[in-house]
Amino acid sequence: MSQLATEVLEAIHEVIRKHHVTYAEYDALKKWLIQVGEDGEWPLFLDVWVEHVVEDVNTAHRKGNKGTIEGPYYVPDSPVQQSPAKIDQRDDEKGEPLQFQGQVRSVDGSVLKDAKVELWHADADGYYSQYAPGLPEWNLRGTFEVDDEGRYQIGTVLPAPYQIPTDGACGKLIAAADWHAWRPAHLHVKVSAPDHELLTAQLYFPGDPHNDDDIASAVKPELVLDPKDASDGAGKVVDYDFVLDPV
């Protein structure tokens, strides 16, 4: 703790010296940091601008699937269903239907028939249940048990591109720095199986203008899906296999 804290503080001191930070700037920083807390945006701030490096250093050893950051909107213990299943959604849920399916295997190719796929994502308006008013508790969230061949098949809808909140302290930083607030449309997953490392990932859609400049730096080429038109003409189907590393 002493070493990490000392080095973080030294990094800040170095920036202050290098740029001759004034008292006006120091006071603005102090006010802004306090506002991050008052706006409840520490989880957002950390997951957008810091988590990707933590993810990187902690998963570099993996031979299986690439993962990426969890982000601020995961809720554990979502309702469990046996695959194939439809994720919890409103009767009039907006958005193009998406059938998300694939197989969970170990690095050696063996099928993981006791795997679980947790899925959560924003709705077609960019809102996450439990983080926006007026949505059913588990809307577009669920835990799916794979079948005997390790396969999962989940009926959901396409998520919308996502703009991180612009009305709070993080938005103020983005405006002041002349950045943008966008993340590409994405599905969040956690894939688990006995005796395997938990995989936390996000999956993206080809052609999204923000795949190349995600504000959260969380896109990797291996995580971009290849959706096809559904054979019955309703929406998209996408196949994506997960490969987990044994512990």
Give yes or no for residue 123 binding ligand MBD (CB under 6 A).
Answer: no
Q: In this structure, which long-range contacts are made by residues 72-75, counting pairs with CB atoms below 8 Å and at least 24 apart in sequence?
A: 72/43, 72/44, 72/47, 72/131, 73/120, 73/128, 73/130, 73/131, 73/188, 74/120, 74/188, 74/190, 75/120, 75/130, 75/141
Site string (60-79) toward ligand MBD, x via CB under 6 A: ---------x-xxx------
Strands 151-157 and 85-86: parallel
Give yes or no for residue 184 binding ligand MBD (CB under 6 A).
Answer: no
Cis bond before residue 84 (omega within 30° of 0)? yes
Give yes or no for residue 216 binding ligand MBD (CB under 6 A).
Answer: yes
Give yes or no for residue 120 binding ligand MBD (CB under 6 A).
Answer: no
Most distant CA atoms of the chain, gap in Å: 64
Give yes or no for residue 48 binding ligand MBD (CB under 6 A).
Answer: yes
Site string (57-96) toward Fe ion, x via CB under 5 A: --------------x-------------------------
Closest to Fe ion by CB, 71 or 142 = 71
Site residues (vs ligand MBD, CB under 6 A): 44, 47-48, 69, 71-73, 162, 164, 183, 216, 218
